[in-house]
Each structure stands twice: as structure tokens, then as C-alpha cells.
Amino acid sequence: MSGFEIERKFLVRGEDYRSAATSSIRIKQGYICSRGRTVRVRLCDSCGYLTIKGPADASGIKRYEFEKEITLDEAEELFKLCEPGIIDKTRYLVKSTDGVHTFEVDEFYGDNAGLVMAEVELGSVEESFEKPDFIGDEVTGDRRFHNSHLRQFPFILWRGTIPKAFRHLTLE
């Protein structure tokens, strides 16, 4: 698959996304390159993926993306080339309240434990969508919440700087 990825990213409140999820999958991902343009290797259960992403536009919503499914063996070999720091998360798929869009809710582990974010992919920058009740503040374009950034500067290092409404993420 290749083309433009148009997505918006949000912090998540509470745990209602779990009971609303239609499915979930464990994801491990690493970055061969994470500066400006990213080259990512991902393992999703028994499937591997190689993804190349271009820089985002000024809003942080739209960027070029190329993704190719690869074998498990290829993914494991490519992980050996990755920069230090692996992202480990469970992704939950949750339909929007109107049933038109699917939110991908990522619950992170390791040094990013306590962080839960949701993304929704859109057909255009202007496309409207309905948010489930657990969707909180938008963080689209905030580099701290990019997976490639979390790899190098994990949530544990800066979790005290998030908005007050999300203090439950601080794992106090």
C-alpha cells in the first residue's frame, strides 16, 4: 500500500475503549530511521511489515506512507538494524459512535506504560467524524506523541507535562 496517510491523534480517558473494542493485537515496532522520514519495522502477531513515512504537513495530519507486508523472518532480521528503543503496545480497534470510522487505540508498555492514545484515519483533511466518549485532547502534530519519538524519549521521562485532565496517565 502506498499513498497519503491522513490521521488525527488523541489522548484517551479511562478504559472504556477495551469493552468497546471489536479486536486487539499486540504490536512490536522498531525504527531503522526516525529522523524526518521514518523507516519502521513492525511485528503484529505472526505478520511483519515494513513502512516508510515521509514528513508530515504543517498541521501534522497528512503525510506520504508506503507499507509492505514482509515475512516474520524478514522482520526479525530487520529488527537487528533498528535504532535503540522498541515500541511495545496493544492496539484495540473501536468503531466511532456513528459506525463510519474506526479508532485505533494504542496502550503502551515498558517505558511508555500508562500512555494510551487513539488515532483515526480519514479520507481528507476536512473530513468530519464522531468521537467515542473516551476520546480526549487532540495531540495531532505534537511530536512527543509520535511513536518514533517515544522510542527515543519515552513517556516515563515527560509524563508529568501532560494536560491536567489526563493525570491518571502519570501512574502515581
Per annotation, catalytic residue among 17, 31, 49, 92: 31
d(CA 167, CA 159): 9
| One-letter-per-residue 3-state SS of 106-165 | EEECHHHCCCEEEEEECCCCCCCCCCCCCEEEECCCCHHHCHHHHHHCCHHHCHHHCCHH
Q: Is 31 in the active site?
A: yes
Place of cell 503484529: 44
**Which amino acid is located at 42 in the chain?**
R
CA-based max dimension of the chain: 44
Cell of 102: 474506526
Active site residues per annotation: 31
